[in-house]
Amino acid sequence: MSRRTSDTGLLERPAVIHTLIAILGVACAGLLLAEFFYAKHPHFGFDGWFGFYPLAGFAAYCFIVLSAKALRPLLRRGENYYGEADPDEADLEDSMGREHDHE
């Protein structure tokens, strides 16, 4: 057996990523085409349209992503919200009330 010299993981390889995307696309297309082969029992009428639920799910996903982008500036905190980003070790010890032992 030959050993791989690359440190890339299985899901980091472009060929595997493209294969997974293709499998997902085929599965989604198959489920969409399956709507032709079963009887629908719509409650409101519009939910009996072809592809209504996939479109409604995609619209809900887009709404969540776009609303999160709009809310980010309102909810975001500054980089130093909890104090200094990278304090020196000496400053950290001083703030804790400890003395330095430099011998």
Q: What is the pLDDT of residues 9-33, one digit of tens each?
A: 999 999 999 999 999 999 999 999 9
pLDDT (0 to 100) of residue 79: 79
CA atoms of 5 and 75, how far apart (whole Å): 44
Q: Helix crossing, 14-33 with 52-75: angle to 10°?
A: 130
pLDDT (0 to 100) of residue 83: 74
Q: Has this prediction a pTM greater than 0.85?
A: no
- The separation between CA 59 and the C-alpha centre of its own chain, rounded to angstroms, equals 17
- The two tokens of residue 64 are 């969540």
pLDDT (0 to 100) of residue 58: 94
Cα-trace Rg, the chain: 27
Element (H, E) at 59: helix 52-75
Low-confidence ranges of the chain (pLDDT < 50): 1
